[in-house]
């Protein structure tokens, strides 16, 4: 009797287990393996199944992925991809993705991508929550929360942090925009780039002169706090050959009163006659600035400068140094100076 009861219980357990497995098998598969659609364990109906683990030599097709999907070329998920999607070329998700998408070429998510997207070329999503890292571009049609890092361009509506080799584009940026050349936004207080076109920020043309009688016309552009500086000019001291100047750097505004603030600038300047020898000066400027009118600002202040020149290029522009060193044709020196000028707000 006891043995019969035990056998009956085991039979019922096995039957129940078989029923559950058969019920899941209509929509869920623990493993999906294959070459390329439809040559796989899910065959022609691969797009109707949710898989816990998928492995394809070339490309896999599924309804959902819940844990890991790996393919040599492409993972194509019609609805949601959760966990890790890893492919040699493309991960394409028709709805949302949660977790890591790692692709040699591109990650494409129609709606929300949460976690991390890492691609050799492009990350494209409706919105992103986490990190987007791409060799060329990160594009989000809506908002991003976290980091966008690319070799060329980042684009989003609202963004937290954008770092690009060439250009960042957004509407509202909460954190830092760092670009090799251009930042564009409606609102961005902390853009770091040579050119920053911020709708709520400032743009101006400045005319300056320093202790070496180098005159510069410069374009300053940025947000409420940080801004970029690019300029060109000429040294008006009597030199054997004309010395032309270019400068680039960044600055920060510190408000003191309604029409008065202090600008802190870090700038590199080069003087050259485009022949042998160079004159390079790195400066830290502290520039009190007074707004005379809505479009005119006057500023002047002290600077501390490190200079390095070769072939006596620029020798004699400064007489007194806090510290100096001459080694063969290479001169280095540290000195105090000044910069003053007029700024026209655009």
* DSSP code per residue over 36-72: ETTEETTGGGGGG-EEEEEEEEEEEEESEEEEEEEES
Asked whether 87 and 103 are in contact (CB, 8 A), the reply is yes
Judged against a pLDDT cut of 90, whether residue 13 lies above it is answered with: no
Q: What b-and-e string marks burial along 88-105, b requiring 16 or more CB atoms within 10 Å of the CB?
A: bbbbbbbebbbbbbbbbb
- Neighbour tally for 43: CB within 10 Å: 11
Instruction: Tell me the pLDDT band of 170, cut-offs 50, 70 and 90.
Output: very high
Q: So what's the pLDDT on residue 26?
A: 56
Q: How many helices (H) and strands (E) does the chain have?
A: 1, 29
Distance (Å, rounded) from C-alpha 103 to C-alpha 94? 16
Judged against a pLDDT cut of 80, whether residue 173 lies above it is answered with: yes
Distance (Å, rounded) from C-alpha 140 to C-alpha 108? 10
Q: So what's the pLDDT on residue 16?
A: 28
If you average pLDDT over residues 202-216, what whole number do you get? Answer: 97
If you average pLDDT over residues 317-339, what whole number do you get? Answer: 94
Q: So what's the pLDDT on residue 15?
A: 30
In the chain, where does the domain assigned CATH 2.40.160 lie?
202-345
Average pLDDT of the chain, as a whole number: 92
Judged against a pLDDT cut of 60, whether residue 344 lies above it is answered with: yes
If you average pLDDT over residues 209-237, what whole number do you get? Answer: 97
Judged against a pLDDT cut of 70, whether residue 194 lies above it is answered with: yes
- Measured between its terminal Cα atoms, the distance across the chain in Å is 98
If you average pLDDT over residues 74-87, what whole number do you get? Answer: 98
161-164 and 172-179 strand pairing: parallel
214-222 and 202-210 strand pairing: antiparallel
Q: So what's the pLDDT on residue 311?
A: 81
Q: So what's the pLDDT on residue 274?
A: 87
Judged against a pLDDT cut of 60, whether residue 148 lies above it is answered with: yes
Tokens (6 digits) for 248: 């680039």
- Collapsing DSSP states into helix, strand and coil, what is residue 113? strand
Judged against a pLDDT cut of 50, whether residue 180 lies above it is answered with: yes
CATH of domain 202-345: 2.40.160
Token match 């000195």: residue?
335
Distance (Å, rounded) from C-alpha 132 to C-alpha 17? 42
Q: Which helix (H) or strand (E) holds 268?
A: strand 260-272
Instruction: Tell me the pLDDT band of 9, cut-offs 50, 70 and 90.
Output: very low
Instruction: Tell me the pLDDT band of 246, cut-offs 50, 70 and 90.
Output: very high
Judged against a pLDDT cut of 90, whether residue 41 lies above it is answered with: yes
Report the percent of the chain where pLDDT is more than 70. 92
Q: pLDDT tens across 260-297, in order?
A: 999 999 999 999 988 887 899 999 999 999 999 999 99
Asked whether 309 and 303 are in contact (CB, 8 A), the reply is no
Q: pLDDT tens across 92-143, in order?
A: 999 999 999 999 999 999 999 999 999 999 999 999 999 999 999 999 999 9
Q: So what's the pLDDT on residue 238?
A: 85
Q: So what's the pLDDT on residue 315?
A: 86
Q: pLDDT tens across 17-27, in order?
A: 332 333 344 59
Distance (Å, rounded) from C-alpha 119 to C-alpha 101? 8
Instruction: Tell me the pLDDT band of 10, cut-offs 50, 70 and 90.
Output: very low
Report the percent of the chain where pLDDT is more than 90. 86
């Amino acid at each position: 009797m006891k043995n019969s009861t035990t056998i009956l219980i085991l039979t019922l357990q096995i039957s129940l287990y078989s029923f559950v497995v058969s019920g899941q098998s209509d929509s869920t598969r623990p493993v999906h393996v294959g070459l390329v659609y439809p040559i796989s364990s899910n065959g022609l109906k691969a797009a109707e199944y949710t898989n816990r683990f998928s492995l394809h030599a070339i490309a896999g097709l599924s309804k959902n992925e819940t844990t890991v999907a790996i393919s040599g070329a492409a993972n194509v998920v019609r609805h949601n991809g959760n966990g890790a999607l890893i492919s040699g070329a493309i991960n394409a998700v028709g709805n949302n993705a949660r977790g890591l998408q790692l692709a040699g070429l591109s990650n494409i998510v129609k709606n929300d991508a949460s976690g991390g997207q890492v691609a050799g070329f492009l990350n494209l999503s409706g919105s992103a929550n986490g990190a987007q890292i791409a060799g060329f571009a990160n594009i989000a049609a809506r908002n991003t929360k976290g980091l966008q890092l690319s070799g060329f361009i980042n684009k989003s509506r609202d963004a937290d942090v954008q770092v690009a080799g060439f250009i960042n584009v957004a509407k509202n940026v909460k954190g830092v925009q760092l670009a090799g050349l251009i930042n564009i936004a409606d609102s961005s207080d902390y853009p770091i780039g040579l050119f920053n076109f911020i709708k709520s920020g400032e743009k101006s043309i400045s005319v300056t002169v320093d202790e070496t009688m180098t005159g510069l016309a410069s374009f300053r552009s940025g947000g409420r706090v940080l801004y970029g500086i690019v300029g060109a000019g000429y040294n008006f001291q009597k030199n054997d050959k004309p010395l032309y100047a270019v400068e680039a750097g960044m600055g920060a505004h510190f408000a003191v009163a309604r029409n008065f603030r202090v600008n802190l600038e870090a700038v590199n300047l080069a003087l050259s006659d485009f022949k042998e020898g160079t004159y390079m000066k790195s400066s830290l400027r502290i520039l009190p600035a007074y707004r005379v009118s809505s479009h005119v600002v006057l500023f002047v202040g002290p600077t501390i400068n490190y200079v390095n020149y070769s072939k006596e290029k620029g020798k004699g522009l400064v007489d007194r140094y806090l510290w100096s060193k001459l080694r063969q044709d290479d001169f280095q020196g540290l000195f105090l100076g000044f910069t003053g000028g007029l700024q026209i707000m655009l």
